[in-house]
Structure 1
Amino acid sequence: MIMTRNIIPYIIAALVILAAGCSKFDEINTNPDKPTHVTSGMLATKLILNITKDDISSQKSFLYNFMLSKYVAWSEFPEASQYNKFGRTSFDGLVILNNVPQMVRYATDEGKHNAYKGLGHFLRAWKFFQLTMQVGDMPYSEALKGESDNVINPKYDTQKEVFMGILTELDSADVLFSKAASFDGDPVYNGNAAKWRKLANSFQLKVLINLYRKAGDTDLKVKERFQQIVSARPVFESNADNFALKYSDKAGQKYPFFKENNQFIIYNMLTTTLIDQLKTLQDRRLFYYAKPSPVEITGGKTANDWTAYKGIDAAAVYSDLSKVASSKDFSAMNERYTEIPQGEPFCLLSFAQLKFILAEGAARGWITGAENYYKQGITAAMEFVAGNTPDDARFHHNMKIDAASIQTYLAGPDVAFGATLAEQVEQIAVQQYLATFLHAPNNGYYEYRRTGYPALPVNPASNQNTMPDRIPRRWLYPQKELDYNGEHVKAAISTQYGGNDDANVDMWILKD
């Protein structure tokens, strides 16, 4: 007992010393260059990069979306996206939206609060749009409520309900950005709320043109919304407003198909779907998008000869495609995509696309000025290409795009605006297809699915779709949904697709 009583002061002293030591240890091991708490700006950066940089893969996988849209064929071995094997999508990308409430909560003043809240609405609209375009009905009203409301198995909303939610979110984004201050953490527009407002409204026009079959729906009010945005809200005004990710010569920031550590640059082959359309229209973007066939150059043709460029049939069976690849008698991607570290800005939604959307809306009688919008779209697309290409013969093959060549192109017999709605829709779709080469992932496929233009090749001998005479109309639902939310996803499959999760059945948005 005496020994125990006498040792207590020593124990107390030791604990005091240990506590002091721990305090100093924490100070010593705190990195002054590493944030100790999250901010709205940090979360904004993460969220914005998620729909720009993170969604844009690099090297070979960068081209998968463009194989699906039949811009590019691949000679390494048969690729599922080129041969129309879609498979199951995933809803995992929605999880990052759980950061939106925290981003808004940490805002330091009302102006920033409005900016971050507007950004949150836009990001939600963007994410849900991409996914509903793949599958149709999906969780929306109860999605992402596991933590807040303990909703582990969210119900499925109809695709119409999802689109109504998207339109409402974009309306909210417009109002909030109109009252917002500049904000931190924005790698695209440097926190300029006015530019984000233009993006939200331009994107809503894209959503609305995809709803053209539902123009008579009194709930959606497609035409009325389209008209109101055009007449009363700010939208993209130039290529400077493009929703685009810019690259640089810094590590981790280089163009996705730049040659550095990229052994896949030798396998790309441009398709007849792209090359032949450019040649038919006498479109100088041919010389910016492609390299001439080395066989044609060896045979005496010059790099500015239209006939020196040769595409490959994207639907060719792989053994035939491989033979062409071995012969070298085809056009690959222009060197400006592989030789320049910063490449060109990657547009997810561009000023040119907006003009084509407006042109189609006008052609359908929602607004006026279809021909002018169509010409402005072509002009913007060509100016973007020329403006982001160094003046080097390797990159334009001495067929430079300038104001005079654009005017000549617009007056060409195959480019001049058609007289009928059918002709106009085809021309607008083809020009948007040409403008989104290596931009706007899957847009070429979605526009083909929506309008039928340009006609994408299908070969039953090579097609990996379950119906070999057609390209699939949708992706299959995620396996995780079948495993963990089976009751709701099966009900959605039943009401939409007759109980069969079939890639070849049209979703609501594609039905008249």
Structure 2
Amino acid sequence: MKNKHTVLILLLTVFISGCSKIDQLQDDPNRTTEVTPELLLTNIEISAFNNVGTSAALACRHLAYTDGVNSDQYYNWQRSGFGNYDYLKQVSKMVEEAENNELRIYTSLARFFNSYFIIGLTQTFGDIPYSEAIRATESTFSPVYDTQEDIYLAVLNDLKSASDELTESEESILGDIIYDGNVLQWRKLINSYYLRVLLSLSAKTGNDQLDVVNRFREIVSNPSRYPLMDSNADNGALLFHNIETNRYPLFQNNGLQTAFYMEKTFVDRLKETEDPRLFSFAEITPNAKKQGLAEDDFNAYEGLRGSAPLDENVQVTVAGDASRIASRYYDDPENEPGLLMSYAELQFILAEAASRGWINGNTDEFYTEGIKASMEFYGIPEADINAYLEKPGAQLDPQNEIESILIQKHIAMFMNTGWQIFYEQRRTGYPEFDVSGGGVLNNGRVPKRWMYPSKEQTQNPQNLEAAIKRQYPEGDDINAEMWLLLEE
């Protein structure tokens, strides 16, 4: 299977080399004007599932950086980009080719990918172009901004349609490097992701149109119609291989080898609960190595405060008292897969839903299963998992169940799943991100969003200005609260 996937990726790489936009692909007379939907699917999957990176890890207090003042770590970011629209163009092209070849199953998958990429954009900015941006002709350069509420309504309907259509489909999926054409696993992923989107609307349970709680219950109460992930085997995961262009994205990354250290509040939490995942995430400190401490000795690990001034952190590293990120993240060309969504995350979603009273079920059982799944993903032996689950610090706090759940979700998403854990913390306030040090910018605040791309100010100024005025009285500000976060 790996060889088949590799050939598909290499073929696709040759085909789209030097071209990231579908309109360029169509306009170049020296390139083929036709491509099968399965080749497009492969590239779309790589874009969606490769959620490995350091920026979110710095912002979410997983890591700290020592080669300069990092804007993600110190909360001084400003603008983000509209790059997801390039992926949406590829999805649109896949739909076009699927319709030309009467392959409806790719249209169903396109509903999922459209939803995934557009949710990423709206969670970044707030209101964004959607209806016109996706369906407009090439001559439309100034699409209107849809409200975040309308976007979420459309996404929920599309995800439900995708799930229902796949239930009835008997077509094969070619070009699939995630589930190798297994339609049941795609249904599980889409339904599980649907629950993620619903949970992100936890402040909107009073909105009758969204009908968040009833939608959530409909999925969970009907597993035969809407199956969910059953184990880590169902993870939405992109495997990496020791082949050129297929390796782990941070393989041989020089900066990762020298300038990325574990964040102190994160390390302290893992040490306090004696969480063996620490040994998978980090190296022991240079001083611990000199002292001959073992790699499974929690005293051998220390972190840097993400909120501390850069010079303070540099002093700690020079003194040999900080743990670097584990070498597997830059030495292993395969390492762990990139995750769009995991079985562990689903269990934490169900735990939070049960805690909120949305569904029947034992919150503690979902919570415990999420921890187990996370530890199994990181290769923790069963005996160590069972020992950890017996520790007082690992128990679900009955006085603040959601905080316990989000802390475990934060651990499970270390260096993976993109910015998802940031959005979860933004939504709930848990776990608290340390801003107590003197290095934090943005007046000591964790931003709520990113400013719109500067190109929009010249290419689509009227619609941009209308969207900003509609949402943010204070203007296009990183601390402004989008509709998604306002209680209703």
- TM-score > 0.5, shorter chain as reference: yes
Query: CA–CA distance in 1 between the matches of 2:437 and 2:61?
Result: 16
1:117 aligned partner: 107
1:176 aligned partner: 165
State yes or no: 1:404 paired with 2:383.
yes
Write the mapping of 1:21-100 to structure 2, written as runs, cut at 5 A. Answer: 37-53=34-50, 56=52, 62-100=53-91
Q: Structure 1 stretch 227-236 or stretch 375-384: which is displaced more? A: 227-236
Q: How many residues align?
A: 452
| Secondary structure at 2:339 match in 1 | strand
| Secondary structure at 1:142 match in 2 | helix
Question: Cα offset for 1:109?
Answer: 9.8
Question: Cα offset for 1:88?
Answer: 1.0
Query: CA–CA distance in 1 between the matches of 2:433 and 2:87?
Result: 34
Query: CA–CA distance in 1 between the matches of 2:136 and 2:80?
Result: 21
Write the mapping of 1:361-440 to structure 2, written as runs, cut at 5 A. Answer: 361-367=353-359, 368-386=361-379, 401-420=380-399, 423-440=400-417
| Secondary structure at 1:196 match in 2 | helix
After superposition, give the CA deviation of every residue in 1:277-300 in whole Å (9 maximum; x if it has no partner).
Answer: 111111111111111112023134
Query: CA–CA distance in 1 between the matches of 2:166 and 2:455?
Result: 36
Question: Cα offset for 1:485?
Answer: 1.3
State yes or no: 1:202 paired with 2:181.
no
Question: Cα offset for 1:459?
Answer: 4.2
Aligned counterpart for 2:291 among listed residues 275, 293, 299: 299
The amino acid across from 1:50 in the alignment is S
Is 2:98–2:107's contact at 8 Å kept on the other side of the alignment?
no
Q: Structure 1 stretch 334-343 or stretch 286-295: which is displaced more? A: 334-343
Query: CA–CA distance in 1 between the matches of 2:93 and 2:290?
Result: 61
2:123 aligned partner: 133
Question: Cα offset for 1:117?
Answer: 0.8
2:28 aligned partner: none
Query: Structure 1 residues 294, 477: closer, same or farther in 2, change over 3 A?
Result: same
Query: Structure 1 residues 69, 113: closer, same or farther in 2, change over 3 A?
Result: same
Structure 2 unaligned residues grouped into runs of 5+: 1-30
Larger Rg: 1
Query: CA–CA distance in 2 between the matches of 1:235 and 1:482?
Result: 42
Structure 1 unaligned residues grouped into runs of 5+: 1-33, 57-61, 387-400
State yes or no: 1:473 paired with 2:465.
no
Question: Cα offset for 1:464?
Answer: 2.8
| Secondary structure at 1:47 match in 2 | helix
Aligned counterpart for 1:456 among listed residues 429, 433, 438: 433
Is 1:115–1:193's contact at 8 Å kept on the other side of the alignment?
no
2:342 aligned partner: 350
The amino acid across from 1:417 in the alignment is L
Matched residues, percent identical? Answer: 35
Question: Cα offset for 1:174?
Answer: 0.3
Query: CA–CA distance in 2 between the matches of 1:381 and 1:107?
Result: 37
Query: CA–CA distance in 2 between the matches of 1:376 and 1:168?
Result: 29
State yes or no: 1:240 paired with 2:233.
yes
Query: CA–CA distance in 2 between the matches of 1:309 and 1:50?
Result: 34
Question: Cα offset for 1:71?
Answer: 0.6
2:204 aligned partner: 214
TM score, norm. by length of structure 2: 0.88
After superposition, give the CA deviation of every residue in 1:400-444 in whole Å (9 maximum; x if it has no partner).
Answer: x32222222222212222223xx1000000000000111111123
Is 1:72–1:314's contact at 8 Å kept on the other side of the alignment?
yes
Is 2:305–2:437's contact at 8 Å kept on the other side of the alignment?
no
Query: CA–CA distance in 2 between the matches of 1:342 and 1:167?
Result: 34
| Secondary structure at 1:82 match in 2 | coil
Query: CA–CA distance in 1 between the matches of 2:175 and 2:148?
Result: 33
| Secondary structure at 2:54 match in 1 | helix
